[in-house]
Structure 1
Amino acid sequence: MLRRRLLREINSTVHGADLHLERYDRPAGDPGLFGADSVVWQVHGHPAGMLVGGFAALMLQSLHPVAMRAVAEHSDYRTDPVGRLHRTARFVSTTTLGSSAAAEAAIADVRRIHGYVRGRDAEGRPYRADDPDLLCWVHTAEAACFLAGYQVFAGEGRLGGRQCDDYLAEVAQIGQLLGADGVPVSRAGLARYLDEVRGQLASSPEALEAVALLRGFGRTRRERLAVRILTNAAIGLLPAWARRALGVHRPWAVRRLWDRPLARLLGAVMVWACGLSPIRLAATARARAKPAVRVGGGGAG
């Protein structure tokens, strides 16, 4: 069937061949970090919004010179971009939809890896990946872009203002568990944070290289076309100052009248295909199930 074939292709591209459903389907009754009724599940369950938002987040994150330096020196995104995508998608899906134990294990793994990431920035100043302020930037840029992607592509399912605040407050838990300080938990806090951090942001050769690699990503012609459509739409989610810093010039009319409709069309196909997502089905069944009743083990009366 076409729908199942598309679903397998999307999962293979984003998550890899093995979906590791054991992270999502047990134990019965475990809500995970957020629960099936959370706004995080709603936002992160929209394939097009997440992919476009994810590409926008990578572009925005690249404008922090220290964060980009750390990625350039310690990541294999140049030699294994597919593996990098799989690991990033797996972390997001596990912390969003996985069991409590799986989500906590994923966060612990990232914290362990961050502990080894050290270096010096372009000015010779030392940096470390587990710096709370640096972690706040990476998390906040990602959350802001995921939310923006959802709002653009969710149609009538768009969130109201209070729900947007709820999303930021809920997803802040991941940043905090990773060790971030000062994570915004509302739209007002997000606006203040981006205003404050903007003076630290700038383009760099590594950032421009990363964006070029991102926009050309794909193992097949069909993948490359899909990625180009999604990254063009992602550019439209970025603030104007971020587009200027990255040297990306797409006029308003192109972004709104060409890029966004094309991405919506591709997104509609993805939503149609991913409606059967085995990860989402497994996680929902786990979270909605009644916990198993333990029998025996009573004490002396």
Structure 2
Amino acid sequence: MSEYTWPRVPLIKTREKLAARYEPADDYGFFGPDSMSWKVWSHSTSLVLGFVRSVTIEHLDPNLTAAVVQSGGVRYRTHSRYGRTMSYFSQVSFGASRPTAKAADVLVKVHSKAIGTDPVTGGRYDANNPDSQLWIHVTAWHSILYCYEKFGGGKLTEAEENQYWAECARAAELQTIDPATVPRSRDEVRAYFAEKRPQLASSEAAVDMVKYILSLHVALPPTMSKLQRLPFLPLTYILSKGVIATYPQYMRELLGIRQGRVTDAVFTPPTWLIHQVLERSFVLKYFLTSVIASPALPSAVPAMLGIPPKSTVTMTPREAQQKYGYANPQEAHLDFRAKQYDRVFDKGEKPSEEGLIESQAHIGSM
């Protein structure tokens, strides 16, 4: 394994030089520069805080924990898994319509591999299950907004927040979710989490995975030497405490996290300050993204730098799926998904990795 090489970031006229590295997108995708998605998801609070908050809270769904542990991806290829997740969400938020629709279509095949029997409930889990997908989707969009308001740009107005949740419902068309089930306001989001709360459960596997992810240095490139990691240790320590400060008390109890309100109060100001600095220095923001989630750059950077696309068209995912010949994700690749069920549940074999292999061209290398 070769040693990590620091990303090259030009220091003179940085924004202009960076812009020259990136091709204009084909179109504005599903949202565009006037959207709340661009405003919130482009903030530096999304890079670590929002994503780590979402992927840790998600483990309170036993089915998701079983899928994560079974795949082994998070623990054994943490950096690439993190980068691929960031790449996909970056495409959804900022990417052009055609490649994003393709990435979403391939992701259905990727998720077809994550099936099996949940040792906690004894039932079957399927990552393409609409309820599981809704939990992941709402948790991600809520966490990104929560961290933005707490550590970033401040509270959205009521109109802005309603727009944000309307865009969340639009993005759900890229997954196996019924968009009608997506919350569309702060009150509906609260109601959703209240409804889910009795279904949430912890386990040794969930606690272990959350503890592992909260050690944020695991998202750093595995080829980094110990010396290269040293400058990041204070940052990852502060940010880890900042993530926990966003958890409600009942989630901390479920996950066995003992951080109290005094610690929350100590680490909230420096967490806020870090993100104010990042927002005032695009060089630092670009550098951090390059280190922890470089696959997100091709979609995000043109939007962040205001590089005009070839076409200013925006469309809904359903319009894109129809235009480019992709099925509604709920109905996509049903034959392939049935073959996966047959391999796993009837024959006791491992699922095919065909979708995982295909996905590398669309959401990043494994």
Report the CA distance between 1:48 and its aligned residue.
Answer: 2.2
| Equivalent pair of 2:128/2:176 in contact (CA under 8 Å) | yes
Q: Distance in 1 between matches of 2:252 and 2:80?
A: 27
Q: Which residue of 1 aligns with 2:210?
A: 211
2:134 to 119, 133, 136: 136
Aligned pairs for 1:220-259 within 5 A: 220-256=229-265, 258-259=266-267
Distance 1:165 1:238, change over 3 A: farther
| Equivalent pair of 1:65/1:202 in contact (CA under 8 Å) | yes
Report the CA distance between 1:289 and its aligned residue.
Answer: 6.1
Distance 1:151 1:71, change over 3 A: same
**Structure 1 residue 168 and structure 2 residue 188: aligned?**
no
Look up the equivalent residue of 1:42 and give its one-letter code: K
Query: How many residues get paired?
Result: 270
Distance 1:172 1:165, change over 3 A: same
2:68 to 67, 71, 94: 71
Distance 1:287 1:207, change over 3 A: same
| Equivalent pair of 1:48/1:271 in contact (CA under 8 Å) | no
Look up the equivalent residue of 1:117 and give its one-letter code: A
TM-score with structure 2 setting the length? 0.68
TM-score with structure 1 setting the length? 0.82
Distance 1:85 1:223, change over 3 A: farther
Report the CA distance between 1:68 and its aligned residue.
Answer: 0.8
Q: Which residue of 2 aligns with 1:270?
A: 278
After superposing the two structures, state which structure 1 stretch, 163-172 or 128-137, moved more: 163-172
Deviations 1:201-254 (A, max 9, x none): 011111111111112232412334322221211111122211111111222122
Look up the equivalent residue of 2:275 and give its one-letter code: G
Aligned pairs for 1:1-301 within 5 A: 21=22, 25-27=24-26, 30-122=27-119, 123-155=121-153, 157-181=154-178, 182-218=181-217, 219=220, 220-256=229-265, 258-274=266-282, 277=286, 279=298, 280-283=300-303, 284-287=306-309
After superposing the two structures, state which structure 1 stretch, 84-93 or 224-233, moved more: 224-233
Q: Distance in 1 between matches of 2:7 and 2:161?
A: 31
Q: Distance in 2 between matches of 1:99 and 1:151?
A: 27
Distance 1:174 1:21, change over 3 A: farther
User: Unaligned regions of 5+ residues in structure 2, if any?
Assistant: 1-5, 10-20, 221-228, 287-296, 314-366
After superposing the two structures, state which structure 1 stretch, 219-228 or 179-188, moved more: 219-228
Look up the equivalent residue of 2:128 and give its one-letter code: D
Tell me the C-alpha RMSD between the 2 structures.
2.3
Distance 1:203 1:47, change over 3 A: same
Distance 1:179 1:38, change over 3 A: same
User: Unaligned regions of 5+ residues in structure 1, if any?
Assistant: 9-19, 292-301
Percent identity, please: 26
Q: Distance in 2 between matches of 1:149 and 1:165?
A: 17
Distance 1:46 1:190, change over 3 A: same
